[in-house]
Amino acid sequence: MSKSRVLRDVPIKSKPVEIQLRDDFDRSETDLESFRDDPQVQSLLEAAHEEANRIVAGAKKQGEEMLLQAQAQRDAYVEAARQEGFQAGYQEGFAKGSREADILKEQAHSLLAEARKAYRGVMVQAEPNLLELSLKIAEKVIRRQVELAEDTIVTVVRELLKEVHAGETFYLYVHPSEVKLLEEARQELLDAAPSGVALHFIPDKSITPGGCKLETDTSYYDATIEGQL
């Protein structure tokens, strides 16, 4: 059955749906925390920290060199004045050396501040990649749940039907491998749907197992795994 025939000429309202998946599976195997040592996560974090630390280390080294240069320059002015034996020259040399040292110190501190800012920038730039990776990990969790509980699709469809309060004909798009399971649970699902609904299961290979899409006379619901994320 084509989508165009299903939709007919009736305006369709698209609605995102959040489905609470069953929570009686083994959380020790599927909880997000179990992925905190995921190699991809660790690799991305390590790369970000290494880059940030490299920036800070380079700036710190340069800052220390500038401070040493400032001290050496001030000492040189003082020594030159001392050797000349003139008090005025000594005081002038000391003052000039101190001014030069203060300038270099300010530059060194400014450099370190920029390094810290750069560090934060590197970590901020890494955040989008971390978010994308987190979504992939979350998808792993859900897929693992589906693998552990074959009847997850029944739970998803039943909870979805409870959210729909109107309509005469429901077209439910699911992965072909799950059509039989849903047919076996048809009465249970009809009990959750509005009274008198005609329920049709449409095989769709584009739907990931464990998720579904629902079209009614006037609405469209996305309860796919991808939609949940």
In this prediction, residue 143 has a pLDDT band, given cuts at 50, 70 and 90, of low
Q: Minimum mean pLDDT among 9-18, 98-107, 159-168: which range?
A: 9-18
Per-residue pLDDT of 46-82, as tens digits, reads: 666 676 667 667 666 766 676 677 667 666 666 666 6
- Burial string for 148-158 (b: 16+ CB within 10 Å, else e) reads ebeebbbbbbb
Per-residue pLDDT of 151-191, as tens digits, reads: 778 888 888 888 888 778 999 999 999 999 999 999 999 99
More confident residue, 93 or 203: 203
Return the closest-CA partner of residue 6 out of 214, 160, 204. Answer: 214
The residues, any chain, with a CB within 8 Å of residue 74's CB and separated by 6 or more, are 94, 97, 98, 100, 101
In this prediction, residue 204 has a pLDDT band, given cuts at 50, 70 and 90, of very high
The answer to whether the beta carbons of residues 189 and 158 sit under 8 Å apart is yes
Please give the full DSSP string across 17-47, using - where no structure is assigned: --------S-HHHHSGGGGTT-HHHHHHHHH
Dihedral sign, Cα of residue 103, residue 104, residue 106, residue 111: positive
Q: What is the mean pLDDT of residues 141-148?
A: 56
Look at the block and give the residue holding tokens 């003082």: 78
Alpha helical stretches, state H, the chain: 3-7, 27-30, 39-84, 87-148, 152-163, 179-184, 186-192, 225-228
Helix (H) or strand (E) run with residue 172 in it: strand 169-174
What is the model's pLDDT at position 59? 65
d(CA 99, CA 70): 9
Dihedral sign, Cα of residue 132, residue 138, residue 141, residue 143: negative
Rg of the chain (C-alpha set):
34
d(CA 28, CA 43): 23
Q: What is the mean pLDDT of the chain?
A: 68
What is the model's pLDDT at position 208? 84
